[in-house]
Amino acid sequence: MVVWSLVVRSRGRRRARVLFADVVESPLRHWGERTWARLRKRTRERQEWLCLPAALIVAVLGQSVLPMLAGVAAVPLVRRWLRRRALRRERERGADGVVALCGVVAGELRAGHEPGRALLVAVRGAGVLGSAEAGVSAAARFGGDVPTALGQAARVPGLDGLAGVAACWRVAVDGGAGLAAGLDRLEGALRAERRRREELRAQLAGAWSTVAVLALLPVLGLGLGAALGAEPLRVLLHTPGGWACLVTGASLEAAGLCWAARIVRAAETA
């Protein structure tokens, strides 16, 4: 009887877990996924505030308030760098969207659709025009001045390729030239430009790696000194000579990083 009751209970428990697994586990799983996604989003949006925990760790290890002051001063600098990187990615995403838009418009035109309808489909599919999407869509839908709307949208950083689309549109309307052929040539030119940009970025990846390694050398030196028992944080944060070395080293580090980044950016711009 004891064995039978244990078997029946185990079967009942397994059946209950199967029947109520979705009811119990699904809300908890969804809640955990939503919480994790929300936490990741906030972390990405506020990455500059990670300087404060890092500075706090150094302040505790060095028993000084100077690292905390440096961490607070680093927050706006890191925020500015993150915004510049986000803007650069947004420009690249917009340039890729313009290339895709040219291909979609050309394909819709070859499928027999009128230019306004083809542009409207491409604009909705690309989703890169941002605030200028409403003006371009309205001009394409109601027969407005499409080249002017495209020219205004081309003022957005990263969407300067739309100026070529506007020129092709104006030539096709005024001179009767083939719009699809012009967009094909424009798409090829934009793709070639993007390919050159990617090749240049691959060539400069080694230079950026060298800059990153040189920037981390002082940190490695501090770690090596701490491993040897020299207590570099105590010397740097609690003695006048250490303060002088810290200010001089930080100034030289910042100057070296700025100079190296300027050289790499100059090569990238050229």
Instruction: Give the mean model confidence (pLDDT) for residues 250-257.
Output: 86
pLDDT of residue 38: 64
pTM above 0.85, yes or no: no
pLDDT of residue 65: 85
pLDDT tens readout for residues 85-119: 888 888 888 888 888 888 888 888 888 878 888 88
pLDDT of residue 8: 43
Instruction: Give the mean model confidence (pLDDT) for residues 124-129.
Output: 70
Cβ atoms of 153 and 166 closer than 8 Å: no
Model confidence at 139, pLDDT cuts 50, 70, 90, reads confident
Say if residue 12's pLDDT is above 70.
Answer: no
Cβ atoms of 229 and 57 closer than 8 Å: no
pLDDT of residue 66: 84
pLDDT tens readout for residues 182-209: 888 888 888 998 888 888 888 888 878 8
Distance of alpha carbon 67 from alpha carbon 58, whole angstroms:
6
Instruction: Give the mean model confidence (pLDDT) for residues 158-174.
Output: 82
Distance of alpha carbon 170 from alpha carbon 155, whole angstroms:
18
Say if residue 17's pLDDT is above 80.
Answer: no
For a pLDDT cut of 90, what percent of the chain falls above it? 0
Cβ atoms of 246 and 236 closer than 8 Å: yes
